A and B are shown apart, each in its own frame.
Chain A
Amino acid sequence: SQQGEEDPQALSIQEGENATMNCSYKTSINNLQWYRQNSGRGLVHLILIRSNEREKHSGRLRVTLDTSKKSSSLLITASRAADTASYFCATVITSGTYKYIFGTGTRLKVLA
């Protein structure tokens, strides 16, 4: 399977703490993206990091990418109860065909 792996599968933290999720993938990529999904609804795009970038910030989000290790991490700082959701990484493959490969996801629960 091309699907990436995410860990942890589930994470429970207190409000105000930081949450870190990791994503590993298998193939060469053009970019990697992180998405959030609330309660089985549609996915919301959070941030994109290109293969030639190592770190990117957006508000309380920080994403890193290590192409040598084929891994990425998403850090949410000062978490809030509203951050409770599932988070997925997606790698974009464009060799031969354009396709997103989604990771297995991390279910984050932020306790108030």
Chain B
Amino acid sequence: SAVISQKPSRDICQRGTSLTIQCQVDSQVTMMFWYRQQPGQSLTLIATANQGSEATYESGFVIDKFPISRPNLTFSTLTVSNMSPEDSSIYLCSVKYRDRNQETQYFGPGTRLLVL
């Protein structure tokens, strides 16, 4: 399986500021994903981050608000820009990984963000 770490694990931020979340994987992976999970809700895909190309954003998410970097096959960052209280969520990094002849997604522990 893939082991994924995220930093920070949690943060409290003031509105109008930006926060960059880091995601590190212990092996090289082609596809990385960023999700948002609002309180009490399910996961919503923000974007798919592939190395060497621009991230692909889902409907309702834009690059200006959630810029993503993918400098290599083991690392990615998600920035939440110009934050408002509505951005308070858990942000989860995930990777597509082939394990025992089946592909699945593994998730990082998440970053809990509270915007005041």
Contact = CB atoms under 8 A, between A and B. Distances in A.
Interface residues of B, number: 24
Contacts of A31: 102
A36 to B, nearest CB: 11
A48 B42 contact: no
Interface string A76-110: 00000000000010100000011110111100000
B56 to A, nearest CB: 7
B106 to A, nearest CB: 7
A3 B42 contact: yes
Contact of A45 (B43, B45, B105, B109): B105
Contact of A104 (B42, B45, B92, B105): B42
A31 B102 CA distance: 10
B66 interface: no
- The binding surface of chain B is classed by DSSP as strand
Nearest to B90: A40
B34 to A, nearest CB: 12
Given A42-B92, A43-B92, A105 B105 contact: no
B43 A42 contact: no
Contact of B42 (A33, A42, A98, A102): A102
Interface residues of A, number: 21
A49 B42 CA distance: 20
A41 interface: yes
A88 B108 CA distance: 16
A41 B110 contact: yes
Contacts of A33: 104-105
B31 interface: yes
5 contacts: A42-B110, A44-B107, A88-B43, A100-B33, A100-B45
Interface of B: 4, 31, 33, 37, 41-45, 48, 56, 90, 92, 94, 96, 102, 104-110, 112
